[in-house]
Each structure stands twice: as structure tokens, then as C-alpha cells.
């Protein structure tokens, strides 16, 4: 559900930023503003990055197969990581370089006219529209009993986070560009335009580093939140058929899917009690040679089926409480 909502958000951002990029390039060509060029580079980087996010979403939708038995969910983290690196090198690196170059070689004359201001205003409202759509998705998916700060800390959808941060940076970048251009016009000193370009680049660098660190954690294999792990343990230990739980392992394998593995110490007396009424008369009435061996084979097969049925029931109860539990592996402890 979450990743499908993110696809709509990314497509909205891609369309919006494509429009903005064309306007900013035209405005830079007319004005010669370094801040405007930085904004154009910033938006072009966003277009490329959101195209990569869309690739990641499409791959993450693929169903598990023989080569990828746990599915393709981590493709979302991989492409989000590539996108974040693009923000860093293309957005931050090129923008900061251009700002520094403008400081040492300031343009002689900035032709700032109506096209520049119309472009920045339109860009602000389009980026704001995309940002608002992402915030609406966040509001819709956030649990009612969870604080906003806690929700953002636990948010694992790299696509949604990327759009949120990129478009927040885009709106802030437009404001910085406007300030740089206005101060340059008032003072006649192009230094302020160059400083605005550097600030925009550093803002992109902050966003990129944050997203790189986030996706790195999930690609390495981050465990589920402690509350989820403890909730699953409580479910398991509440079953009368289970005595204890050992060697728990978990990891997120997609934005909305995790794998859980544990060794379970089953209570043999509970299983024996389930079968006692059916098999006790047969065990007490055996009087033929070889009958005991035959009965034991039937009995142990029945026990095995009962254990398998109990495991299925336990797994269903885990998925009912934690729908993100895509893969559950319970092994007998011994």
C-alpha cells in the first residue's frame, strides 16, 4: 500500500520538476544569475533522481522468484541510494562549484526581469504542490497514536522520504535564490547571488547525506523495531504449544516488508495432550507383534502434522498483527 502511494507521489514530483527545470533554464539563460543556474541544476538533478526512484518502485513491485526468493523489495533502497548519490554529486557538488566559481569570477551584469520572478514563483508553488501531496500521504499513513517525530524517525519508505526532503529543499532553495537575487540587485554586488548558490548546494548536500545513511542501513540489513520484535515474541510465548523463543533474527527486506526467523521450543506435553484421547485406547489395547511399530509411525506422523498446523496458525496470527511480516521462519529449538 505505502509503496503504491509513493509511486503516485514520485510521478507527481517528476512531472512538476520537469516543468520547473525548463522554466529555470530559460530564466538563467536570460538573467545570467548564478543562483538561478544553481536552481536549474538542482531541479534537473531532481528530475533524474525521481526517474531513478520510479525505476526502484517498479522493480520493488516484482514478485519473488527462484533467483530472488525474498522478493525485490530492496531494489527500492538501492535505487534510492543511487538517487541520493546523484543529489550529492550533481546537485550539491556542481551547485557549490558554480557558486565558488561565481565568487571568484562574478558576472558583470545580471539581467533579472519578469521571467526570473515568474519562474521562481511558479517553481515555488509547483514544488509546494508536490510537497503537499507527499505530506498528505504521510498524514494518511501515520498511525493515530504515534507522534509526528516518532513517525518520521521510523519511516522506512525511501521513495516518500526522498520526495519529502527533495521538495522541501526545492522550496527552501527557491527562497534562498530569491533572497540572493534581491540583495544583489539592491547592493549591486553579485557576491550575494553566488553565496545563495553555495547555500542551495549545501542544503542539497545535507539532504543527500541523510538519504545515503538511511538507505545504507536498510541495504546492510537493519532489524525490525524493538516493539515489533517484542510483540512477535509475546504472540509466540502466549501460545500454549510454545515454551520459549530463541535466536531471533529479523531484517527489513523492503519498505513495507520484513523477514523474521526464530528457533522455537515446542511443548511436547501439549501436543501429546491433543492426541491423547485419540491414541490412548489404541496404545493400551495393543496385543499383536509389530503393532506397536506401526502405531508409532502413525502417531509420529500425526504429531508432525499437528506441529505444522500449529506453525501455520502462529504465522497467521503474526501477520494479522504485523501485516509487514512477509517471511516468517520458525524452526524447532534443540
CB within 8 Å of 197: residues ≥ 6 apart: 34, 35, 37, 38, 95, 96, 98, 99, 102, 180
Instruction: Work out whether strand 257-266 and strand 325-332 pair parallel, antiparallel, or are unpaired.
Output: parallel
**HSE-up (13 A, CA, CB side) for residue 130:** 35
Q: Which of 172, 193, 220 is the last residue of a domain?
A: 220
> Which triple of cell numbers denotes residue 181?
537575487
User: Domain check: are 162 and 178 in the same one?
Assistant: yes
User: Domain check: are 153 and 272 in the same one?
Assistant: no
User: Domain check: are 205 and 235 in the same one?
Assistant: no
User: Domain check: are 191 and 69 in the same one?
Assistant: yes
- Number of independent structural domains in the chain: 2
User: Domain check: are 196 and 149 in the same one?
Assistant: yes
pLDDT at 61: 80
User: Domain check: are 106 and 235 in the same one?
Assistant: no
Tens of pLDDT, residues 211-227: 888 888 888 888 888 88
pLDDT at 319: 93
Q: Which of 220, 245, 273 is the last residue of a domain?
A: 220
Q: What is the dihedral of CA 272, 321, 254, 63, to 10 degrees?
A: 70
Average pLDDT for the chain:
82
Kindly tell me the burial class for residue 85, based on how many C-beta atoms sit within 10 Å of its own C-beta (0-12, 13-18, 19 or more): middle
CA–CA distance, 174 with 179 (Å, rounded to integer): 9
Phi, psi at residue 86, to the nearest 5°? -65, -40
pLDDT at 4: 52
User: Domain check: are 265 and 282 in the same one?
Assistant: yes
pLDDT at 261: 93
pLDDT at 48: 82
Tens of pLDDT, residues 230-260: 999 999 999 998 888 998 999 988 888 889 9
pTM summary value: 0.72
User: Domain check: are 9 and 29 in the same one?
Assistant: yes
For residue 7, the Cα-to-chain-centroid distance in whole angstroms is 12
| CATH number of 15's domain | 1.20.1510.10
User: Domain check: are 26 and 87 in the same one?
Assistant: yes
Q: Which of 220, 254, 278 is the last residue of a domain?
A: 220
User: Domain check: are 238 and 196 in the same one?
Assistant: no
Q: Is 67 helix (H, G, I), strand (E, B) or coil?
A: coil
User: Domain check: are 59 and 81 in the same one?
Assistant: yes
Residues in the chain predicted with pLDDT less than 70, given as ranges, are 1-5, 34-35, 107-112, 289, 334
Which of 184-208 are b and which e, b meaning 16 or more Cβ less than 10 Å from the residue's Cβ?
A: beeeeebebbbbbbbbbbebbbebb
| CATH number of 311's domain | 3.30.70.1350
User: Domain check: are 179 and 34 in the same one?
Assistant: yes
H or E element in which residue 60 lies: helix 34-60
Domain range enclosing 323:
226-332
Amino acid at each position: 500500500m505505502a509503496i503504491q502511494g509513493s509511486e503516485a507521489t514520485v510521478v507527481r514530483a517528476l512531472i512538476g520538476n520537469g516543468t520547473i527545470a525548463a522554466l529555470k533554464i530559460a530564466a538563467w539563460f536570460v538573467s545570467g544569475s548564478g543562483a538561478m543556474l544553481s536552481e536549474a541544476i538542482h531541479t534537473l538533478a531532481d528530475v533524474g533522481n525521481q526517474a531513478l526512484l520510479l525505476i526502484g518502485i517498479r522493480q520493488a513491485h516484482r514478485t519473488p522468484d527462484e533467483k530472488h526468493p525474498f522478493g525485490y523489495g530492496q531494489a527500492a533502497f538501492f535505487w534510492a541510494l543511487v538517487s541520493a548519490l546523484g543529489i550529492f554529486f550533481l546537485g550539491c557538488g556542481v551547485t557549490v562549484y558554480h557558486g565558488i566559481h561565481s565568487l571568484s569570477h562574478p558576472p558583470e551584469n545580471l539581467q533579472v526581469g519578469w521571467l526570473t520572478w515568474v519562474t521562481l514563483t511558479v517553481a515555488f508553488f509547483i514544488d509546494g504542490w508536490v510537497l503537499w501531496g507527499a505530506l498528505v500521504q504521510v498524514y494518511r499513513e501515520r498511525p493515530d497514536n504515534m507522534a509526528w517525530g516518532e513517525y518520521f524517525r521510523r519511516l522506512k519508505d525511501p521513495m516518500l522520504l526522498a520526495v519529502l526532503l527533495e521538495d522541501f529543499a526545492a522550496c527552501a532553495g527557491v527562497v534562498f535564490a530569491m533572497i540572493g537575487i534581491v540583495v544583489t540587485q539592491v547592493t549591486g554586488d553579485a557576491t550575494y547571488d553566488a553565496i545563495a548558490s553555495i547555500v542551495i548546494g549545501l542544503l542539497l548536500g545535507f539532504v543527500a547525506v541523510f538519504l545515503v545513511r538511511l538507505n545504507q542501513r536498510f541495504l546492510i540489513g537493519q532489524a525490525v523495531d524493538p516493539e515489533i520484535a517484542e510483540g512477535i515474541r509475546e504472540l509466540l510465548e502466549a501460545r500454549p504449544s510454545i515454551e520459549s523463543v530463541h535466536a531471533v533474527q529479523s531484517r527489513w527486506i523492503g519498505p513495507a516488508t520484513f523477514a523474521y526467523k526464530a528457533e522455537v521450543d515446542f511443548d511436547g506435553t501439549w501436543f501429546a495432550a491433543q492426541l491423547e484421547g485419540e491414541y490412548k485406547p489404541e496404545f493400551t489395547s495393543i496385543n499383536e507383534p509389530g503393532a506397536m511399530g506401526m502405531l508409532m509411525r502413525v502417531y509420529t506422523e500425526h504429531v508432525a502434522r499437528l506441529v505444522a498446523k500449529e506453525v501455520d496458525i502462529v504465522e497467521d496470527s503474526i501477520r494479522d498483527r504485523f501485516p509487514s511480516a512477509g517471511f516468517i521462519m520458525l524452526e524447532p529449538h534443540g
